[in-house]
Structure 1
């Protein structure tokens, strides 16, 4: 059970803070609810305490995990199937990764779609997926590092730009 003030991640919505735990009556049934404030989308969500685990809600990762994600962001291979123009199978895999709430899987989505965008313009669905993954990861960085969203976006963009520059250098060398 989470406590008031806990920083948590709600997959597909992002990281936020448990503002309160209240007893509410919804559709004639009383129950305990977390009131989760997700600041980056200016949203407050009521979540039944007993359903939090089923919804994939978890504590935000620690600072070392964020540092690890940023340090190794572009390591690993991208499945070549991802580069096929209209691959529904890969999009379904990305949706599962997103719903997992796992910061490593979310960063894989960003890595792979960034690589794909370097080859050609992303379609609307891929672009939306990339945008959502970026929001989820940056919202968690905000909560973990205690920084403003703009600073978290800059941090992540710096990692993406650095990887792109390294790739261009490698291609120029040979």
Structure 2
């Protein structure tokens, strides 16, 4: 079976809008008389299995899990970055949705940071509360699989 060697079975990945997952298998399936190879990914947040054609992975926003070296910068952004509180909620929601869709951990951390700060000052509307819950879950799912991370580092995002 010939496979794009971007990822291997057992690799932890991050799938935007779904969080972290693990590649459980690489399977060949036939669809519309065409055989294709698929990564079978078990998502940790939803526990669902996702199948993505191997040939489409390089064009997707799916990425490897962040490494421990990048974590210091991410914690710094979470604790020290500035938040724009003056945007109307609909505009803020759109910007935050786009940040989460990138799959970039830094963008996701900014969304969690900003919404957590807002939540301390006032009650979030239902859409932003769900967004915070989802983004926080995606972030935690990635943090939990970073090799070498300590519980103290994970707790710095609480």
**Common fold: TM-score over 0.5:** yes
- Equivalent positions of 1:119-138 (< 5 A) are 119-138=121-140
- Is there any run of 5+ residues in structure 2 with no aligned partner, and where? 1-5
Deviation by residue 1:5-53 (Cα, 9 ceiling, x = unmatched): 1111000011111111111123443211000011232111101112223
- Equivalent positions of 1:104-123 (< 5 A) are 104-123=106-125
Select which of 35, 55, 58 maps to 1:50: 55
- Equivalent positions of 1:18-167 (< 5 A) are 18-82=23-87, 84=88, 87-145=89-147, 156=154, 158-160=155-157
Q: Using the TM superposition, give the Cα deviation of residue 74 of structure 1 relative to its aligned residue in structure 2, in angstroms.
A: 2.1
8 Å CA contact 1:23, 1:30 repeated in 2? yes
Change beyond 3 A, Cα 1:13–1:160: closer
8 Å CA contact 2:14, 2:63 repeated in 1? yes
Change beyond 3 A, Cα 1:116–1:26: same
Distance 1:81 1:26 in 2: 49
Distance 2:59 2:86 in 1: 31
* SS of residue in 2 equivalent to 1:56: coil
| 1:8 corresponds to 2:13 | yes
RMSD: 2.2
| TM-score, with structure 1 as normaliser | 0.78
Q: Using the TM superposition, give the Cα deviation of residue 155 of structure 1 relative to its aligned residue in structure 2, in angstroms.
A: 5.4
Higher percent of residues as helix: 1
| TM-score, with structure 2 as normaliser | 0.86
Aligned residues: 153
* SS of residue in 2 equivalent to 1:40: coil
- Is there any run of 5+ residues in structure 1 with no aligned partner, and where? 162-174
